Chain A
Amino acid sequence: MSYLDYGTGSRIADSKAPQGPIAERWDRRRFTAKLVNPANRRKHTVIVVGTGLAGASAGATLAEQGYRVLQFCYQDSPRRAHSIAAQGGINAAKNYRNDGDSVHRLFYDTVKGGDFRARESNVHRLAEISVQIIDQCVAQGVPFAREYGGLLDTRSFGGVQVSRTFYARGQTGQQLLLGAYQALSRQIAAGTVEMHPRTEMLDLVVVDGRARGIVARDLVSGEIGTYMADAVVLASGGYGNVFYLSTNAMNSNATAVWRAHRRGAYFANPCFTQIHPTCIPRTGTHQSKLTLMSESLRNDGRIWVPKKAGDPRAAVDIPEDERDYYLERIYPSFGNLVPRDIASRAAKNVCDEGRGVGPGGQGVYLDFADAIARLGRDKVAEQYGNLFEMYERITAENPYEVPMRIYPAVHYTMGGLWVDYDLQTTVPGLFAIGEANFSDHGANRLGASALMQGLADGYFVLPATVNDYLAGAPAVGDADASHPAAVAALDETRERLARLLAVQGDRTPDSFHREIGELMWEYCGMARTEVGLRKALQRIPEIRAEFWRRIKVPGTGAEFNQALEKANRVVDYLELAELMCLDALHRSESCGGHFREESRTPEGEAERKDDEFSYAAAWEFTAPGQAPLLHKEDLVFEYVHPTRRSYT
Chain B
Amino acid sequence: MKLTLRVWRQKNADAPGAMAAYEVDGVSPDMSFLEMLDTLNEDLIVQGEDPVAFDHDCREGICGACSLVINGDAHGPERTTACQLHMRSFRDGDTIDVEPWRAAAFPVVRDLVVDRTALDRIIQSGGYVTAPTGSAPDAHAVAVPKPDADHAFVHAECIGCGACVAACPNGSASLFTAAKVNHLNVLPQGAPERESRVLDMVAQMDAEGFGGCTLAGECATACPKGIPLQAITTMNKEWLRAARTSKR
Q: Which residues of B from 31 to 70 have beta carbons under 8 Å from A?
A: 31-32, 34-35, 38-39, 41-42, 44-46, 48-51, 53, 55-65
Which of A72-80, A223-231, A304-312 sits within the interface? Answer: A72-80
Residue of B nearest to A173 (CB): B62
| A463 engages B133 (CB within 8 Å) | yes
Binary A-proximity of B142-178 (CB < 8 A = 1, otherwise 0)? 1111100100110011011000000000000000000
By a CB distance below 8 angstroms, the chain B residues around A509 are 45
Contact partner of A141 among B55, B120, B129, CB < 8 A?
A: B129
Q: What is the bound-complex CA distance between A287 and B50, given in angstroms?
A: 22
Q: Which residues of A from 71 to 125 have beta carbons under 8 Å from B?
A: 75-80, 82, 84-85, 94, 96
By a CB distance below 8 angstroms, the chain B residues around A560 are 12, 53, 109-110, 113
By a CB distance below 8 angstroms, the chain A residues around B124 are 185-186, 188-189
| A82 engages B146 (CB within 8 Å) | no
| B84 engages A393 (CB within 8 Å) | yes
Known contacts A80-B64, A288-B35; is-contact A185 B127 (Cβ 8 Å): yes
By a CB distance below 8 angstroms, the chain A residues around B65 are 75-76, 80
| A182 engages B123 (CB within 8 Å) | yes
| B38 engages A394 (CB within 8 Å) | no
| A143 engages B153 (CB within 8 Å) | yes
Q: What is the bound-complex CA distance between A112 and B31, given in angstroms?
A: 40
By a CB distance below 8 angstroms, the chain A residues around B113 are 76, 560
| B46 engages A510 (CB within 8 Å) | no
Known contacts A82-B63, A143-B152; is-contact A189 B116 (Cβ 8 Å): no
Which of B181-189, B211-219, B229-237, B239-247 sits within the interface? Answer: B181-189
| A562 engages B53 (CB within 8 Å) | yes
| B59 engages A288 (CB within 8 Å) | yes
Q: Which residues of B from 102 to 158 have beta carbons under 8 Å from A?
A: 109-110, 113, 115-117, 119-120, 123-125, 127-140, 142-146, 149, 152-153, 156-157
| B128 engages A186 (CB within 8 Å) | yes
Give, as a whole number of angstroms, the nearest-CB distance from B236 to chain A: 21
Q: Which residues of A from 185 to 215 have beta carbons under 8 Å from B?
A: 185-186, 188-189, 195, 197
Contact partner of B129 among A85, A96, A140, A283, CB < 8 A?
A: A140
Q: B76 on the interface (CB 8 Å rule)? A: no
Q: What is the bound-complex CA distance between A125 and B129, given in angstroms?
A: 27
Residue of B nearest to A283 (CB): B30
By a CB distance below 8 angstroms, the chain B residues around A140 are 128-129, 131, 189
| A182 engages B149 (CB within 8 Å) | no
| B129 engages A182 (CB within 8 Å) | yes
| A289 engages B46 (CB within 8 Å) | no
Q: B71 on the interface (CB 8 Å rule)? A: no
Known contacts A147-B146, A508-B45; is-contact A390 B60 (Cβ 8 Å): yes
Binary B-proximity of A352-365 (CB < 8 A = 1, otherwise 0)? 00000000000000
By a CB distance below 8 angstroms, the chain B residues around A185 are 120, 123-124, 127-128
By a CB distance below 8 angstroms, the chain A residues around B100 are none
Q: Which residues of A from 120 to 137 have beta carbons under 8 Å from B?
A: 132, 134-137
| A64 engages B132 (CB within 8 Å) | yes
By a CB distance below 8 angstroms, the chain A residues around B38 are 286, 288, 510
Residue of A nearest to B120 (CB): A77
Give, as a whole number of angstroms, the nearest-CB distance from B72 to chain A: 21
Q: B6 on the interface (CB 8 Å rule)? A: no
| B55 engages A76 (CB within 8 Å) | yes
Give B residues with C-beta under 8 Å from A: 11-12, 28, 30-32, 34-35, 38-39, 41-42, 44-46, 48-51, 53, 55-65, 78, 80, 84, 86, 88, 109-110, 113, 115-117, 119-120, 123-125, 127-140, 142-146, 149, 152-153, 156-157, 159-160, 183-184, 187, 189-190
A selection of 22 A-B contacts at a CB cut-off of 8 Å is: A75-B63, A76-B115, A77-B120, A80-B64, A80-B65, A80-B160, A132-B134, A136-B136, A137-B139, A150-B145, A152-B139, A168-B153, A181-B123, A249-B63, A284-B31, A288-B59, A390-B61, A393-B80, A506-B46, A510-B38, A552-B48, A562-B53
Give A residues with C-beta under 8 Å from B: 57, 60-61, 64, 75-80, 82, 84-85, 94, 96, 132, 134-141, 143-152, 168-169, 171, 174-175, 178, 181-183, 185-186, 188-189, 195, 197, 220, 249-252, 283-284, 286-289, 291-292, 390, 393-394, 396, 459-460, 463, 506-511, 552-555, 559-560, 562-563
Given A174-B159, A552-B48; 20 other pairs, CB 8 A cutoff:
A75-B65, A80-B160, A82-B58, A84-B63, A85-B58, A135-B138, A140-B129, A141-B187, A144-B149, A150-B145, A150-B149, A249-B57, A250-B59, A286-B39, A390-B84, A393-B78, A559-B11, A559-B12, A560-B12, A563-B41
